[in-house]
Structure 1
């Protein structure tokens, strides 16, 4: 895969380039840039398959660079960042790859492996558009959540998810009007993705959207607007009661 590194820290580019050369010789690093303008020019010239992209840089953010890429011909992107949980959650919701600074070998290898598979699937346009759409809205119910499965990635509004149910290493997503989806992500991933979307783990394997909860009955069950009843873990009942009463 032809690759470009875009980061305003020269030391970070040198370090990442060395790691790729040593452990990932299948990646051809065809250039680098330390700002958005030069990065866009390099992308236009080289037409890479993959970009390692920092977020905060002179002249604009990595998100600004994505907005300026020509639609229909955007490369796969792995974000390399020391950004806050907000940015990381945005990447996760849009099913985009990222590694945290300082870059470590194992997360880097995992991100590259996923990127290689996604390049074969050719679905990065939808993921990047989802990221940009999510960044534009403050309504958490309208932000879209990626559901990776064996046919690629499907995106649904967070507000359409009634609850998530862990099934071993997978997660069953229960939607308001469109049945269920089996995601290849474990339930822990959805806890992170939905942390700011008014969801709560009522059990170690069940995550519920408060907007679909009618009440908690005396038996310790949540009664949902869909007529479904979910049992709350005994040790979490007080926490769930407080969550339901919170503004």
Structure 2
């Protein structure tokens, strides 16, 4: 049985979605919140399996809400939006899907079936899923970069610099957040501000104070600090 939280500042929109949910025998409980902050409080108290989250709200938009709860999350997210240009950001935020307003009943049913499948896999102890690509920015353009193309990542204030060959891309995130989303068998945090693709390491050498010098296949040298070994 599924617990669903609806976060939307428009009462008519919440009522419509609730009516759809009330027809579904697999829904155990439904709760509502009328703002981003109320949504954060409800997530902590209600502990939903599925979050139906409006993108545009006056106090805090849906993306800002999720930034307060970085992955891995113990619930799935479906965004509610009046504009389909939010779709790319929705998937960047690891949303399961998105629904355009006004919500179409058939589309809603398909999204719910997908959510149920994902929740069933989680309940069966399915292995964790890690991201296969990240949305990066370069030259004012955004596109998806497969994670296997990453060499190493460094934190730069509110951004991350993702190095891939001779190119460097920007990602607005934290190193801790990105590390949670990447497969630890392939990526390792080597310092407070750096993360490396283990497949890109050519060799390592012992260094002072228990640290290691890391030589990447492209010639870049990094330091694997003792704290993160």
Query: Shorter-normalised TM-score: what interval?
Result: 0.5 to 0.7
Q: CA deviation at 1:126?
A: 4.3
Please give the root-mean-square deviation of Cα atoms over the aligned residues, in Å: 3.0
* Counterpart residue number, 1:90: 89
Structure 2 counterpart of 1:113:
113
Could you state the TM-score of these two structures normalised by the residue count of structure 2? 0.53
Partner of 2:60: 60
1:125-140 matches, cutoff 5 A: 126=130, 134=135, 137-139=136-138
- Hey, what's the Cα distance between the residues in 1 that align with 2:62 and 2:25? 26
Counterpart-to-counterpart distance in 2, 1:141 and 1:70: 21
For residues 58 and 129 of structure 2, the distance between their equivalents in structure 1, rounded to whole angstroms, comes to 25
Are the counterparts in 1 of residues 54 and 80 from structure 2 also a CA contact under 8 Å? yes
> Partners of 2:77 and 2:35 in 1: how far apart?
16
Q: Which of the two has greater helix per residue?
A: 1
Q: What CA distance in whole angstroms lies between the structure 2 residues aligned with 1:56 and 1:95? A: 15
In structure 2, the residue corresponding to 1:80 is in which secondary structure? strand
Please give the TM-score of this superposition, normalised by the length of structure 1.
Answer: 0.50
Report the CA distance shift for 1:142/1:84 in structure 2 as closer, same or farther (over 3 A): closer
Shift in Å at residue 124 of structure 1? 8.3
Q: Deviations over 1:185-230 (max 9, x none)?
A: xxxxxxxxxxxxxxxxxxxxxxxxxxxxxxxxxxxxxxxxxxxxxx
The 8 Å contact of residues 76 and 95 in structure 2, kept in 1 or not, is answered as no
Unaligned runs of 5+ in 2: 151-229
Distance 1:125 1:97 in 2: 16
Distance 1:124 1:43 in 2: 21
SS of the residue corresponding to residue 57 of structure 1 reads coil
Deviation at 1:78, TM superposition (A): 1.0
* Pairing 1:49–2:49 present: yes
CA distance in 1, matches of 2:58, 2:142: 33
